[in-house]
């Protein structure tokens, strides 16, 4: 019986960005669910300055509730690591394992900008220029194929600054479920995720993996990512 993979996607992105992974998951006998956060992708018409990290956490929790999902392999990509950490905390009876894909790994009381302090001034300046709250997308990795770059550029939209400023609130005891970290090791000039990879390599309770890809392997290296996700699901099982 296949696994149910539920994605907490990255900033400026949406469920559509995982398009290449759906046929691969289906062919492998798995179910892939890629909901879009409020204010992004096909829900961009709901964009508002009040949207914060908590909004996106509730988005995913409601998918779990109303789709009656269980035994979930939860994936948090990039900013989605903030979302996935809270979802795993609050819906721990529904989650079988947690996978961070080149993602932030927050502790209770930390915001994304707390974890990426060097980006704070730039993000705040961009938000000021964007009606006081809109942060435009970061550049895509340099190895992104031209066709993919065009596809991404047409669909990525601004993020509300509150999503990056909101401090995470965890409600339960430390998580005991299996946790894995995938580090995309084609390092860009600002290697934001090396510290989280290092933590996963050195702390007990983690499985650590690397892949030869840049920050969004679901776009640039979907077959390699699929192989690795299958391996992780089998190893944890």
Separation between Cα atoms, residue 151 and residue 155, nearest integer Å: 7
DSSP assignments along 38-88, one per residue:
TTSGGGGGG--TT--HHHHHHHHHHHHHHTT--SEEEEEETTHHHHHHHHH
Q: Which residues are catalytic?
A: 78
Assign 235 a pLDDT band (cuts: 50, 70, 90): confident
Task: Read off the pLDDT of residues 5-38 as tens digits, 9 standing for 90 and up.
Answer: 999 999 999 999 999 999 999 999 999 999 999 9
Is residue 193 within 8 Å of residue 102, measured between CB atoms?
Answer: yes
Assign 59 a pLDDT band (cuts: 50, 70, 90): very high
Separation between Cα atoms, residue 84 and residue 92, nearest integer Å: 11
Assign 172 a pLDDT band (cuts: 50, 70, 90): confident
All structural domains of the chain, each given as residue ranges with its CATH number in brackets, are 4-236 (3.40.50.1820)
Taking CA 213 as the corner, what is the angle to CA 211 and CA 214, rounded to the nearest 5 degrees?
130
Whole-prediction pTM value? 0.96
Q: According to the model, what pLDDT value does residue 233 have?
A: 85
Q: Is the pLDDT of residue 203 over 80?
A: yes
Assign 231 a pLDDT band (cuts: 50, 70, 90): very high
Q: Which residues contact 188 (CB under 8 A, 6 or more apart)?
A: 141, 142, 214, 215
**Higher local confidence (pLDDT), 39 or 187:** 39
Q: Is the pLDDT of residue 52 over 80?
A: yes
Mean pLDDT to the nearest integer, 170-188:
88
Task: Read off the pLDDT of residues 100-153 as tens digits, 9 standing for 90 and up.
Answer: 999 999 999 999 999 999 999 999 999 999 999 999 999 998 899 999 999 999
């Amino acid at each position: 019986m296949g696994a149910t993979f539920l994605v907490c996607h990255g900033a400026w992105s949406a469920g559509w960005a995982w398009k290449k992974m759906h046929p691969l998951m289906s062919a492998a006998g798995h179910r892939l669910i890629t909901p879009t956060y409020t204010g992004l992708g096909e829900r961009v018409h709901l964009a508002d300055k009040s949207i914060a990290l908590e909004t996106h956490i509730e988005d995913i929790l409601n998918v779990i509730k109303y789709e009656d999902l269980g035994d979930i392999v939860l994936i948090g990509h990039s900013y989605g690591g903030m979302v996935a950490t809270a979802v795993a905390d609050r819906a721990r009876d529904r989650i079988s394992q947690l996978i961070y894909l080149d993602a932030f790994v927050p502790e209770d009381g930390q915001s994304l900008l707390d974890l990426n302090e060097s980006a704070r001034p730039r993000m705040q300046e961009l938000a000021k220029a964007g009606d006081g709250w809109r942060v435009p997308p970061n550049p895509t990795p340099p190895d992104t194929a031209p066709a993919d770059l065009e596809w991404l550029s047409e669909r990525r939209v601004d993020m509300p600054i509150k999503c990056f400023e909101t401090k995470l609130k965890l409600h339960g005891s430390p998580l005991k479920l299996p946790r894995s970290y995938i580090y995309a090791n084609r390092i860009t000039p600002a290697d934001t995720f090396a510290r989280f990879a290092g933590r996963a390599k050195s702390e007990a309770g983690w499985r650590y993996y690397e892949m030869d890809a840049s920050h969004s392997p679901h776009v640039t290296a979907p077959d390699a990512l699929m192989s690795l996700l299958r391996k992780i699901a089998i190893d944890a099982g």
